[in-house]
Amino acid sequence: MTALDYVLAGVLAVIHGPEAFTLLGIPVSVTVLMVVAGFFAGIVVGATPGLGQVIALAISLPILISIFGFNASALLPVMGFMIGIMKGSTVGGAVPAILFNTPGTPDSYMTTLDGYPMTRSGQAQKALRVAHFSSVSGDTFSDICLFVFAPSLAILVERYLDLPEKTALIILSLCFIAVVVGRSPAKGLAAAALGLFFVYVGTGEDFHPRLSLNAPALADGIPITAAVIGVLVVGSIFSELEKLWREKSTAGTITPTSQSGDGRLRWTDIRRIAPYIGRSAVIGTAIGALPGIGSTLAATLGYASGGAFHRRRKAADEPEFGKGAMQGIAATEAANSSVAGANLIPVLSLGIPGNTAAVFLVLAADTIGGFNPGPGVFRFTSEANPELVIAFGLFTTMVIANILNWTVGGVFMRCMGIMIRIPKQFLLPVVLLLTFASLYVQQTSMAMIGFALFFGVLGYFMIKLGVSPLPFVIAFVLGRQFESTARQAFSATGGDPFFLFSSWIAVAFMAGAVAIIVITVHGRRASA
Amino acid sequence: MTRLLKATVVALGLAAAASTALAADWTPPGPVKMIIAFRAGGGADTQARLIAEELEARHGWKIIPEQVTGKGGINAALALKDEPADGTAIAILVTETLGYNMVAAKGSGLSPSDFTGLTTTAGFQMGIVSRADSGYKTLADVFEAARGGAEIRFGVMSPRLADLAYVVGRENGVDFNIISVQGGKAVLNGVNAGDMDVGFMAGIQANGVAAGDLVNLASALSTPLVQTPDAPTLDAFGVEYNADGHFVFVGPANMDAAAADAISSAIAEIVSDPATKAGGMIKKAFGGSVVIAGDELGAILAAGYEGAGKLMADAAN
Amino acid sequence: MRSLHPDTVLAVILLAFAAVLLLFWLPADTDTGLYEIKRGKYTIGDALAPAFAGAVMAVAGLLLLFGPRARDAPKLDTNHVWFLSAMIAIVLAGMVLMRWAGPLATILFADDDYRLLRDTVPWKYLGFASGGFVIVAGASSVVEGRFSRNAALAGIVAVLLIIALYDLPFDDLLLPPNGDV
């Protein structure tokens, strides 16, 4: 089979698979139906604060498998649904960030910075359109890169990054996030240190759960979802409610958010945000292709780079980043969405997921069987290689999801915007309870709610003290991986204490980490 | 036999002593909590959930699965230990949890006599695996490369396997760089990515081996692997230990005999029937069901606990 | 007396926490040290990563202590603390109800244990419904400064919505507190 035959076979496997029903004489395959269902479910999931794609995937995978069973024909419908969820929730995540200042997912935290100010000035509809347009553009760009480069890129990356280099890369990412995000490098560093500390409680390799004070609830560490959702969602809900409470007690009433202008996205707007989308899409795609780094970092880098660009280029009457600039939304959403496609490069060619959502794709493939993500997938053999057909089938489901996203995604996403009509003093507590229930459903223990409350309080203090919660979140998410990669690298080098300097790539990463800290701290000091 | 061992066998054997007439009539007094010691979504977790589903369909029992992960199953064992022994709480673990890990986790104060063994469901097809393009055909090739000066990175997913890897190397004059990771999936990833040269895999390698991407260099079991019967076992390399292990359902100690018998035989029936979803999945993922219950299971668990100390001590010098 | 700069307070808290962590907590509550010798080789111990976190925390504290001072640094006031305390109290009250309302009701009105009834309507909803209602209606009421019919409505809608979302379609998903009993 030639490469073209494989592409064709992949497309046919999706479109001509087992049919669900006929629509106007055209048979609709189960796979297409599942992509559509997953996509709309994903938008709802993303738009609901406290729910996220990871939770949705965790809940749906066992259900899907019990419906479709364990043979290879189950692969495309199940994975198609999951891809639909991933794509839908990526655009949907911007909705609560823009409307309520509570990010639906960690990736959309940066979207709150400009999206919510736009909502406050009556431009919610426009902000949603900017988010949708940027997200879909970034996503499509990333998918194209995946289709073109997947066969070769991941193998190249993996050849140059051994365990010591991977450790150094995580250190570089952490340093960057800690000192560059937010206004104060010292506070950023403190937040990152706190994140590391909390993720190390109860974890580790010994049978004694370290730092757990013998509390059974801490015996397997603090669940990532509880900590991250606690700091980001519960913390912002408390903070928003507190603002409403102050408004009520000083002004005697709470003014509802109003809508002004027609909220349309005009050609001039698109021209203005296009450079930001372009930069962020490239950044997000590059980050996504690196195994194990993830989309929150991409969103942060995209926002930071867009912000630097904006300071040089903005017109005098345009708002700054963080004050309701639509370019800020564009930069964030394009970056976090463009991770998704590229993230499948390491997944498909090495079986190594770059983020938690991709983990579930690997799990699905593993559990169902018949598709074994790894170097064997991209072998263009003359005998039909069924795994490669599945890979192109997956690409086809992504194209279908993208088409849905361009056509009806934006409309459906803005429908979610009616939530803004509900007074926030009622909606936010409902979201709070939904968050608690969603956490409980995942790991049935009251301790989950306790963690969420604890980290919500921490997040509230961070917001009120001007400490960006992002370094905390990234440190918490990367912390375990940082430790385990370092441990593995140390063991792999036979106990070399200088393993972080064992190759020029690792040395370059470490030098970069030091340089970022020195330059930023020095620069802020000079400007203070 | 030590006193503890005897006590364990008696405790675990209670299940078999129950009369089948009682078992046939038994229904749980309420919903049954099924503690799963494995992370959500993986093969082990899926197996447990499919068994739960089939138990509900066949017997009308209400099963509520609950994940309690971490510390090699010790957390799950601790969660089960003080649950009521009336058949409304069971757990699925690996035999290693009740053996090596309970010995190693001294602080937990657990021993197999705190539990009632119900039945195993499947065994591990544990092999020592490398990538096909590494050029190794059997473990002997790895030893030869190592003696020729190559640094060999050996991926393992539990302390017991780390000890085993160390002893395997030592007996053959090789000093492996042993890399501990969490879960078999991480070993597979590490080997695929080239971060590890060889690693233990407990069945997860089956697809890769079938596709020709991975090679079983040796069987880490006392018997040859089902998929590649030609791969040598560890005794061919002068190692007296092996990585035999099973998935096992247990209940709290002194479990109601009728309940233990009813649950154990209900699960055994399901996993041995490849027509059920659970049975089909087990056949595919773990090479077929292995049902060991009653006295025999008791003896295996007790021996695993008893024998763990020996490997531990051997690997410490 | 001049009040302390908020950054100074934060710095002192960080330094104190790092000191406790590194000097007392870590040595007492980990099994292995910074490194150890296992199977003939050096390996990284369980204490190293938290020690690194503590060290970074100390560095951040020092930077904050001796770093430049912004004049308009955000700080906490008593209103912040009061409001947060109210929220914590409401959530805690809700959690207590969630956990114990069902078991209490079964002691009073049912023959069986709550554990055996945790999959039976209406018992299985008692805790979540009462606790959830308190959290939603309570938080709304604090914000509005009074208890209103709308706040009660929000609580009822929230509880029904979440039961419809998780409990009705999915057999295996548990609402609080039914996994704890």
Render pLDDT for A388-423 as a digit per residue (tens, 0 to 9). 888 889 999 999 999 999 998 888 888 877 777 788
Q: Which residue, among A211, A212, A426, A451, would best test binding to C if mutated, counting the most C CBs under 10 Å from its CB?
A: A426
C175 closest CB neighbour out of A440, A497, A528: A440
d(CA A474, CA A191): 10
Set of chain C residues whose Cβ sits within 8 Å of the Cβ of B84: 115
Would you say A66 and A192 are in contact if contact means Cβ atoms under 8 Å apart? no
Q: How close is the nearest chain A Cα to the Cα of B20, in Å?
A: 32
Would you say A321 and A310 are in contact if contact means Cβ atoms under 8 Å apart? yes
Model confidence band, residue A527 (pLDDT cutoffs 50, 70, 90): low
| For residue A334, pLDDT beyond 50 | yes
End-to-end CA distance of chain C: 54
The predicted pLDDT at position C147 comes to 93
The predicted pLDDT at position C50 comes to 97
B315 CB near a chain C CB, below 8 Å? yes
Model confidence band, residue C181 (pLDDT cutoffs 50, 70, 90): confident
Model confidence band, residue A468 (pLDDT cutoffs 50, 70, 90): confident
Quick check: C158 and A464 CB within 8 A? no
Would you say A97 and A104 are in contact if contact means Cβ atoms under 8 Å apart? yes
Which CA distances in Å does C134 have to A427, C90, C95, C174?
A: 15, 7, 9, 20
Please give the share of chain A, as a percent, with pLDDT higher than 90: 33
**DSSP characters for C153-171?**
HHHHHHHHHHIIIIITT-S
- Which of residues 286 through 315 in chain A touch B, CB cutoff 8 A? 291
d(CA A57, CA A364): 10
B31 closest CB neighbour out of C38, C39, C119: C119
End-to-end CA distance of chain B: 26
C88 closest CB neighbour out of A246, A457, A491: A457
Write down which chains contact chain A via at least 3 CB pairs under 8 A.
B, C
The predicted pLDDT at position A260 comes to 63
Quick check: B42 and A366 CB within 8 A? yes
d(CA A230, CA A449): 9
Amino acid at C36: E
d(CA A284, CA A347): 16
The torsion angles phi and psi of B131, rounded to 5 degrees, stand at: -75, 145
d(CA A472, CA A461): 13
Would you say A99 and A431 are in contact if contact means Cβ atoms under 8 Å apart? no
d(CA C115, CA C134): 23
Would you say B38 and B93 are in contact if contact means Cβ atoms under 8 Å apart? no
Average pLDDT, chain A: 85
Set of chain A residues whose Cβ sits within 8 Å of the Cβ of C32: 206
Quick check: A242 and C84 CB within 8 A? yes
Quick check: B64 and C112 CB within 8 A? no
Q: What mean pLDDT comes out for the span A330-335?
A: 92
| For residue A8, pLDDT beyond 80 | yes
The predicted pLDDT at position A258 comes to 67
Give the residue with greater pLDDT, A229 vs C114. C114
Amino acid at B173: G
A242 CB near a chain B CB, below 8 Å? no
End-to-end CA distance of chain A: 65
Question: Model pTM greater than 0.80?
Answer: yes
Quick check: A449 and C75 CB within 8 A? no
| For residue B268, pLDDT beyond 70 | yes
Set of chain A residues whose Cβ sits within 8 Å of the Cβ of B49: 62, 66
The predicted pLDDT at position A93 comes to 86
The predicted pLDDT at position C159 comes to 97
Set of chain C residues whose Cβ sits within 8 Å of the Cβ of B64: 119, 172, 174, 178-179
Model confidence band, residue A49 (pLDDT cutoffs 50, 70, 90): low
B108 closest CB neighbour out of A65, A207, A363: A207
The predicted pLDDT at position C2 comes to 56
**DSSP characters for B35-59?**
EE-S-TTSHHHHHHHHHHHHHHHHH
The torsion angles phi and psi of A325, rounded to 5 degrees, stand at: -85, 125
C31 closest CB neighbour out of A190, A206, A244: A206
Would you say A429 and A456 are in contact if contact means Cβ atoms under 8 Å apart? no
B115-123 and B214-219: which strand pairing? unpaired
Token pair 């979302």 is found at: C165
B230 CB near a chain A CB, below 8 Å? no
Quick check: A372 and B207 CB within 8 A? yes
Quick check: B284 and A350 CB within 8 A? no
Would you say B268 and B290 are in contact if contact means Cβ atoms under 8 Å apart? no
A498 CB near a chain C CB, below 8 Å? no
B153-156 and B177-180: which strand pairing? parallel
A216 CB near a chain B CB, below 8 Å? yes
Centre a 10 Å sphere on the Cβ of residue A491 and count the other Cβ atoms it contains.
Answer: 28
Q: How close is the nearest chain A Cα to the Cα of B246, in Å?
A: 19
Q: How close is the nearest chain C Cα to the Cα of B126, in Å?
A: 22
The torsion angles phi and psi of B289, rounded to 5 degrees, stand at: -80, 150
Residue ranges in A351-497 assigned as alpha helix (H): 356-368, 386-404, 410-415, 424-442, 446-464, 469-492
C174 closest CB neighbour out of B64, B178, B316: B64
Quick check: C178 and B163 CB within 8 A? no
- Which of residues 23 through 62 in chain B touch C, CB cutoff 8 A? 29-31, 49, 52, 62
* pLDDT tens-digit readout, B122-135: 999 999 999 999 99
A503 CB near a chain B CB, below 8 Å? no
Give the residue with greater pLDDT, B263 vs A423. B263
> Which tokens hold the place of B231?
């791969």
Set of chain C residues whose Cβ sits within 8 Å of the Cβ of B34: none
Quick check: B175 and C118 CB within 8 A? no
| For residue B50, pLDDT beyond 50 | yes
Largest CA distance in chain A: 76
The predicted pLDDT at position A378 comes to 75
Give the residue with greater pLDDT, A265 vs A246. A246
Set of chain B residues whose Cβ sits within 8 Å of the Cβ of A370: 207
Give the residue with greater pLDDT, B15 vs A317. A317
Token pair 């969820």 is found at: A85
Give the residue with greater pLDDT, C42 vs A261. C42
Write down which chains contact chain B via at least 3 CB pairs under 8 A.
A, C
Would you say A423 and A255 are in contact if contact means Cβ atoms under 8 Å apart? no
Q: How close is the nearest chain B Cα to the Cα of C32, in Å?
A: 13
Tell me the count of A-B CB pairs closer than 8 A. Answer: 117
> Which tokens hold the place of A309?
């660009």
d(CA A478, CA A499): 19
Average pLDDT, chain B: 89
A211 CB near a chain C CB, below 8 Å? yes
C118 closest CB neighbour out of B31, B315, B316: B31
ipTM surpassing 0.95, yes or no? yes
* pLDDT tens-digit readout, B204-249: 888 889 888 899 999 999 999 999 999 999 999 999 999 999 999 9
Q: What mean pLDDT comes out for the span C26-38?
A: 92
Token pair 């903005």 is found at: A314
The predicted pLDDT at position A350 comes to 67
A245 closest CB neighbour out of C73, C136, C143: C143
Would you say A46 and A419 are in contact if contact means Cβ atoms under 8 Å apart? no
* pLDDT tens-digit readout, A12-24: 888 887 777 776 7
The predicted pLDDT at position B312 comes to 93
- Which of residues 115 through 174 in chain C touch B, CB cutoff 8 A? 115-119, 172, 174
The residue of chain B with its CA nearest to that of C171 is: B64
